[in-house]
Chains A and B, each alone.
Chain A
Amino acid sequence: MWRGLWTLVARAARGPRSPRPCTRQGSGVPVPGSGTTIFALSSGHGRCGIAVIRTSGPASGHALRSLTAPRDLPPARSACLRLLSHPRSGEPLDRALVLWFPGPQSFTGEDCAEFHVHGGPAVVSGVLQALGSVPGLRPAEAGEFTRRAFAHGKLSLTEVEGLADLIHAETEAQRRQALRQLDGELGHLCHGWAGTLTQALAHVEAYIDFGEDDNLEEGVLEQANSEVRELQLALGAHLRDARRGQRLRSGAHVVVAGPPNAGKSSLVNLLSRKPVSIVSPEPGTTRDVLETPVDLAGFPALLSDTAGLREGAGPVEQEGVRRARERLEQADLILAVLDASDLASPSSRNFLDTVVAPAGAGSPNGNSQRLLLVLNKSDLLPPGGPDPSPNLRPHLLLSCLTGEGLDGLLEALRKELAEVCGDPSTGPPLLTRARHQHHLQGCLDALGHYTQTKDLALAAEALRLARGHLARITGGGGTEEILDIIFRDFCVGK
């Protein structure tokens, strides 16, 4: 049998008439992987009785069986009560309703499973982690369920029209979520790792493209190898230490922003019913971001007081302004506070132009952020109300001093937060963390393949894969970045 095989291989490699030393493989173009199975929390987060976790993809049935072992799959499309337990440890997680939708009769057209679990964060995170430990499953990317449904022809034409908006909204929400999670130690670490890995990849690429007849310095490959080994150690240590990483901050992020002395801190104190921020008539009193977890109209929220936005203050306050702007980027909802009696001042106008106007719904670039415009100090206004400014968007009048208008504000907050918290894609921080871990683990696995592979092109592919995983967290890693490093570090070309 072996002999026959070798003759055939040799014949294939030789060509019809004469020897041809180039050996070949018949593989064509790689098919993009749609074979993976994804999972995500599909219901909103915040206070709720029941949370729905959904999977889609070929391993859905396997995942369902793994969590409900030793039971068989429930009948298609009918709810069954099952005890969920962790597939590895066997630890019970929750008693839940499960549903089994074999494809193509499902939302995405693939095999889908739904877990209706109790809404507590511990249960949800336990089930998500259990799903993540099932081979072939990974956390869903933003908009991925919708995309799969579209790919399998499950969305009608009218629904398709909304698709781009929907995916964009989900991506935006996830981007803000990721920004928040990356703010701090983990982000710093990831960017450092990405930098090291990009450098190592660039040097390996240089060795492939120029190693042969350009004079690269000695030891380019050895240095890349040692960098990869260090990175493996750092990633491994990080993944083993579960406590490290990000601070989990639950709830909708509500950021109070406005020009100096508009009464932001007064509003924060009023809403949190405790003196969180120092209040004074002097502009620039708040210089840092002050956070306080509050219950706003029944929704968990993280309320941030920020420095008044203005130019030209001292360096400490400027840093406060920078942080305030950064926090605005990450906000789920902005409470924009202006002094109702001072709408014509340059700082108010500037704030209206740079923060309020771009955040407005339906802005041309589609980056709309939720924003409530609050005109504070209504007690200082003449009886006729504020100046009839034609360009002012819908707003709420409030007096932090007398408490007038607070009920209206709370009602408006309730409406906005209901939408923010009801949006499943913003997800709990837990899911973001699961995604980070998934990609860090993927990166580490790929680095392992790099060190084991002898064929340099295959090894470089493993490094590219590793960089791709980090890029899902930090971005970057494109060809030009690699080439820039090559041409910066080496004198190549003739």
Chain B
Amino acid sequence: MFSLRNCGLWVAASLTKKRLTLARFSGDSAAPLATKFDVIVIGGGHAGTEAAAAAARCGSRTLLLTHRVDTIGQMSCNPSFGGIGKGHLMREVDALDGLCSRICDQSGVHYKVLNRRKGPAVWGLRAQIDRKLYKQNMQKEILNTPLLTVQEGAVEDLILTEPEPEYTGKCRVSGVVLADGSTVHAESVVLTTGTFLRGVIVIGLEMHPAGRLGDQPSIGLAHTLEKLGFVVGRLKTGTPPRIAKESINFSILNKQTPDNPSIPFSFISETVWIKPEDQLPCYLTHTNPKVDEIVLENLHLNSHIKETTRGPRYCPSIESKVLRFPNRLHQVWLEPEGMDSDLIYPQGLSVTLPAELQEKMITCIKGLEKAKMIQPGYGVQYDYLDPRQITPSLETHLVQRLFFAGQINGTTGYEEAAAQGVIAGINASLRVKRKPPFVVSRTEGYIGVLIDDLTTLGTNEPYRMFTSRAEFRLSLRPDNADSRLTFRGYKEVGCVSQQRYERASWMKSSLEEGISVLKSIEFSSSKWKKLIPEASISIGKSLPLSHL
């Protein structure tokens, strides 16, 4: 009953909703659509929205091109933001005045900081997010950003011209060609096409070209990039089925409650939009040997798993968990999709079996015995471009003024995409102004670690952030992202608002004052020992802790 054909119908139904072709959405509604911009951003996902907003904040006249305006800010996989390492990235995006942290503070339904028992350097800010609210708030933000124009359209080709002799690269991008043949010119172009480059959706043995369930893939653009000589690789990822909330027996499952008080993601949010007592709980259940059995008996019906394309090791499908770690109970978190959503997202149950078998598998699990599957899980296979072809400012070596950000560079995750988006948007704008690029180093932020790893080592699996990747983990904490990046963003780039700058300055001077007061207190080591007996004070030996 859940064949792709039915999904197609579901898609068609959503497509028949009010749609405007090539409609103009402009924050500056009085201005007519120009055919020349400073920066064009292709794609309205997490990288695209951040890139477009960042370029506009830097003062560039920016055009955001997307297949559909109503999918801007779509969270196409898990209904959550943040986590360990990812929360760090969000704080850094926020420190550069990016969007996602602020939007999350207005759209979450369950805020919880992970790793609270470990040191503050590895706290993971995380929240379940209401998909609908996030999308609404993001669209409101994007459509009201000064200097930013939004237009619907599929990009088929790039307009290329002679290269600037003082830079490397065999040509320069100067605009894009849309599917209807019209052209838009720009000084820089940012590509954030996610999984849409030759994207294929897989359920069981059925394959269907699509970037996301219900959306067309970008094939013309993939051809163009390949013709230009970009090295293309292939990756896969997956998403779990969605389950009807009222069909789940939560009463027999472990309940997880949100933090009280909630910690906001953004440095400039005083608090989140919702009180802790109004937030929604999550529930935990586990797989069992019956699930293993169904997976193992039906491997022949599962082309996604058989493929040799690399999937993420840390975000494996239930099939690969069963194959690699047999005879174990695997966790399944049941997460709310939103305040008024009747869907539950079973985190940990990413699966590409045929839909009927998915339904059978779900009903084996405790609490889900009578669960109704609303949408099947599916796999996505897509092209990515070897990120060693881009510079630390995310501009391509081959084509001048062409920037890549997000999943196109082989990463996975909303936060990784957003982080690259901000950097690409800033640099696309700086390039137009002929200013030096804005590069975050490994010692300054997780953003630096992410981009340095990608551009120097490349990746052969979807790249995800972990704190173990950061050599300077102790100093790259979520709580000091503003002192690391806000001042640079304000002074070097101009992408940071006055309000945020002042807040960060106030925080900085308070801290310095506090530290100088602390430093002014001097006692003998024996007195310190008496005052703070739990501190280990050793004399005359250089501790690693003394660097901190």
The answer to the question of B29 belonging to the interface, with a C-beta cut-off of 8 Å to chain A, is no
What residues of chain B lie closer than 8 Å to A30, measured between beta carbons? 443, 472, 475, 547
The answer to whether B513 and A8 touch across the interface, beta carbons within 8 angstroms, is yes
A433-472 vs B, Cβ < 8 Å mask (1 yes, 0 no): 0000000000001100100110111101110110000000
The CA of A89 and the CA of B478, in the complex, are separated in Å by: 49
The CA of A214 and the CA of B325, in the complex, are separated in Å by: 14
Q: Within the complex, which residue of A213, A449, A452 is in contact with B114, where a contact is CB–CB below 8 Å? A: A213
The answer to whether B474 and A457 touch across the interface, beta carbons within 8 angstroms, is yes
The answer to the question of B435 belonging to the interface, with a C-beta cut-off of 8 Å to chain A, is no
The answer to whether A449 and B545 touch across the interface, beta carbons within 8 angstroms, is yes
The answer to whether A24 and B480 touch across the interface, beta carbons within 8 angstroms, is yes
Q: Within the complex, which residue of A24, A455, A482 is in contact with B479, where a contact is CB–CB below 8 Å? A: A24
Instruction: Pick from A12-20, A310-318, A367-375, A409-417 the stretch touching chain B.
Output: A12-20
Known: A461-B544, A487-B314. A208 touches B115 (CB 8 A): yes
What residues of chain A lie closer than 8 Å to B329, measured between beta carbons? 215
Which residues in window 486-522 of B have CB below 8 A to A? Answer: 503, 506-508, 510-515, 517-518, 521
Looking at the assembled complex, report how far the CB atom of A442 sits from the nearest CB atom of chain B, in whole angstroms.
10
Looking at the assembled complex, report how far the CB atom of A122 sits from the nearest CB atom of chain B, in whole angstroms.
30
The answer to whether A455 and B443 touch across the interface, beta carbons within 8 angstroms, is no
The answer to the question of B163 belonging to the interface, with a C-beta cut-off of 8 Å to chain A, is no
Which residues in window 441-496 of B have CB below 8 A to A? Answer: 443-444, 457, 466-469, 471-475, 477-480, 483-484
A207-220 vs B, Cβ < 8 Å mask (1 yes, 0 no): 01111111100000
The range of chain A's interface size is 35 or more
Identity of the chain B residue whose Cβ is nearest the Cβ of A464 in the assembled complex: B471
Known: A213-B114, A452-B536. A493 touches B314 (CB 8 A): yes
Instruction: Pick from B16-24, B119-127, B153-161, B218-226 the stretch touching chain A.
Output: B119-127
The answer to whether A22 and B472 touch across the interface, beta carbons within 8 angstroms, is no
Chain B: residues with Cβ within 8 Å of the partner, total of: 72
The answer to whether B513 and A29 touch across the interface, beta carbons within 8 angstroms, is no
The answer to whether B347 and A494 touch across the interface, beta carbons within 8 angstroms, is yes
The answer to whether A449 and B514 touch across the interface, beta carbons within 8 angstroms, is no
What residues of chain A lie closer than 8 Å to B357, measured between beta carbons? none
Q: Within the complex, which residue of B321, B475, B543 is in contact with A28, where a contact is CB–CB below 8 Å? A: B475
The answer to whether A491 and B321 touch across the interface, beta carbons within 8 angstroms, is yes
Known: A8-B517, A11-B510. A456 touches B119 (CB 8 A): yes
6 contacts between A and B (CB under 8 A): A210-B314, A211-B118, A458-B119, A458-B474, A486-B468, A494-B331
B171-189 vs A, Cβ < 8 Å mask (1 yes, 0 no): 0000000000000000000
B304-324 vs A, Cβ < 8 Å mask (1 yes, 0 no): 000000001111100001001
What residues of chain B lie closer than 8 Å to A21, measured between beta carbons? 261, 263
What residues of chain A lie closer than 8 Å to B472, measured between beta carbons? 29-30
What residues of chain A lie closer than 8 Å to B517, measured between beta carbons? 4-5, 8
The answer to whether A18 and B270 touch across the interface, beta carbons within 8 angstroms, is yes
The answer to whether A26 and B508 touch across the interface, beta carbons within 8 angstroms, is yes
The CA of A483 and the CA of B325, in the complex, are separated in Å by: 17
Looking at the assembled complex, report how far the CB atom of A7 sits from the nearest CB atom of chain B, in whole angstroms.
10
The answer to whether A15 and B507 touch across the interface, beta carbons within 8 angstroms, is yes
The answer to the question of B5 belonging to the interface, with a C-beta cut-off of 8 Å to chain A, is no
Q: Within the complex, which residue of A5, A215, A452, A486 is in contact with B518, where a contact is CB–CB below 8 Å? A: A5
Question: Could you tell me which A residues sit within 8 Å of B by CB distance?
Answer: 1, 4-5, 8-9, 11-12, 15-18, 21-30, 33, 135-136, 205, 208-215, 445-446, 449, 452-453, 455-458, 460-462, 464-465, 479-480, 482-483, 486-487, 491-494
The CA of A90 and the CA of B478, in the complex, are separated in Å by: 51
Question: Could you tell me which B residues sit within 8 Å of A by CB distance?
Answer: 84-85, 114-115, 117-124, 261, 263, 270-271, 312-316, 321, 324-325, 328-331, 333, 347-348, 350, 443-444, 457, 466-469, 471-475, 477-480, 483-484, 503, 506-508, 510-515, 517-518, 521, 536, 540-545, 547-548
Known: A209-B467, A493-B313. A24 touches B511 (CB 8 A): yes
Q: Within the complex, which residue of A23, A208, A453, A464 is in contact with B122, where a contact is CB–CB below 8 Å? A: A208
Looking at the assembled complex, report how far the CB atom of A193 sits from the nearest CB atom of chain B, in whole angstroms.
19
The answer to whether A491 and B325 touch across the interface, beta carbons within 8 angstroms, is yes
The CA of A88 and the CA of B517, in the complex, are separated in Å by: 39
The answer to whether A22 and B479 touch across the interface, beta carbons within 8 angstroms, is yes
The answer to whether A483 and B514 touch across the interface, beta carbons within 8 angstroms, is no
Q: Within the complex, which residue of A9, A26, A214 is in contact with B483, where a contact is CB–CB below 8 Å? A: A26
Identity of the chain B residue whose Cβ is nearest the Cβ of A450 in the assembled complex: B544
What residues of chain B lie closer than 8 Å to A135, measured between beta carbons? 540
The CA of A487 and the CA of B312, in the complex, are separated in Å by: 10
Looking at the assembled complex, report how far the CB atom of B264 sits from the nearest CB atom of chain A, in whole angstroms.
8
The answer to whether A487 and B263 touch across the interface, beta carbons within 8 angstroms, is no
Looking at the assembled complex, report how far the CB atom of B113 sits from the nearest CB atom of chain A, in whole angstroms.
9
Looking at the assembled complex, report how far the CB atom of A175 sits from the nearest CB atom of chain B, in whole angstroms.
23
The answer to whether A494 and B119 touch across the interface, beta carbons within 8 angstroms, is no
Looking at the assembled complex, report how far the CB atom of A16 sits from the nearest CB atom of chain B, in whole angstroms.
6
Q: Within the complex, which residue of A8, A452, A461 is in contact with B514, where a contact is CB–CB below 8 Å? A: A8
The answer to whether B313 and A212 touch across the interface, beta carbons within 8 angstroms, is no
The CA of A215 and the CA of B84, in the complex, are separated in Å by: 15
What residues of chain B lie closer than 8 Å to A215, measured between beta carbons? 329-331
The CA of A480 and the CA of B466, in the complex, are separated in Å by: 11
What residues of chain A lie closer than 8 Å to B117, measured between beta carbons? 456
